[in-house]
């Protein structure tokens, strides 16, 4: 029965794609959580830079204080830039995963169509075999009747 084996094959393909889509959905969720953490760290770093300069206005300003604050600010800005780069990588990775997910869903739909096609072929084959068996039985009955006459 090649029809049944083809139907089973496409059913297996569909099941494996469902597992892959589930894994991709988990990865997308993980990336979203990382983006949230990144945004919080970005906000904290922005707050640190603002607080750094607010502290200057309340104390006496010396040249050494300004240099120290500038160094701290540049360090915080480098952290900020690395967070921006990390965010862009996370967003790109998220888009890539979403594209892969949509491709797998299209592939799954294609496999579902092929699976249903082979299922219909299987049903048609069973009907034809049943009709053939019935016609053979009818023929043998007619033959038996003709032998008796």
**Overall average pLDDT of the 2-14 stretch:** 84
Residue 141 lies in a domain: no
Q: Residue 65's pLDDT is what?
A: 77
Q: What does the alpha-carbon distance between residue 28 and residue 95 come to, in Å, rounded to a whole number?
A: 9
Task: State the pLDDT confidence band at 104, using cuts at 50, 70 and 90.
Answer: very high
Residue 7 lies in a domain: yes
Tokens 């050494």 sit on residue: 64
Q: Residue 41's pLDDT is what?
A: 94
Query: Residue 90: which residues within 8 A CB-CB, separation 6 or more?
Result: 31, 34, 35, 38
Residue 130 lies in a domain: no
Backbone angles phi, psi at 62, to 5 degrees: -125, 165
Q: Residue 31's pLDDT is what?
A: 95
How many distinct structural domains can be found in the chain? 1
Q: Residue 28's pLDDT is what?
A: 94
Instruction: Tell me what the pLDDT averaged over the chain comes to.
Output: 88
Residue 124 lies in a domain: no
> Is the pLDDT score of 7 beyond 90?
no
> Is the pLDDT score of 57 beyond 70?
no
Residue 146 lies in a domain: no
Task: State the pLDDT confidence band at 99, using cuts at 50, 70 and 90.
Answer: very high
Q: What does the alpha-carbon distance between residue 6 and residue 9 come to, in Å, rounded to a whole number?
A: 5
Backbone angles phi, psi at 61, to 5 degrees: -95, 125
Cβ count within 10 A of residue 129 = 10
Q: What does the alpha-carbon distance between residue 114 and residue 108 come to, in Å, rounded to a whole number?
A: 10
Q: Residue 59's pLDDT is what?
A: 64
- DSSP-assigned letter for residue 28: H
Residue 100 lies in a domain: yes
Q: Residue 40's pLDDT is what?
A: 95
Domain that includes residue 32, residue range: 2-118
pTM of the model: 0.69
The CATH number given to whatever domain includes residue 90 is 1.10.287.1490
Residue 35 lies in a domain: yes
At CB < 8 A and 24+ separation, what contacts does 116-121 make? 118/3, 118/4, 118/6, 118/7, 118/10, 119/3, 119/7, 121/3, 121/6
Residue 27 lies in a domain: yes
């Amino acid at each position: 029965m090649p029809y049944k084996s083809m139907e089973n094959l496409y059913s297996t393909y569909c099941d494996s794609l469902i597992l892959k889509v589930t894994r991709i959905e988990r990865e997308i969720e993980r990336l979203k959580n990382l983006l949230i953490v990144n945004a919080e760290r970005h906000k904290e770093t922005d707050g640190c830079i603002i607080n750094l300069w607010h502290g200057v206005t309340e104390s006496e300003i010396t040249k050494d204080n300004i240099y120290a604050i500038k160094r701290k600010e540049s360090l915080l800005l480098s952290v900020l830039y690395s967070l921006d780069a990390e965010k862009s990588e996370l967003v790109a990775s998220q888009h890539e995963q979403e594209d892969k997910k949509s491709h797998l869903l299209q592939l799954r739909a294609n496999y579902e169509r092929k699976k249903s096609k082979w299922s219909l072929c299987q049903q048609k084959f069973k009907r034809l075999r049943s009709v053939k068996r019935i016609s053979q039985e009818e023929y043998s009955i007619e033959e038996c009747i003709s032998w008796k006459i």
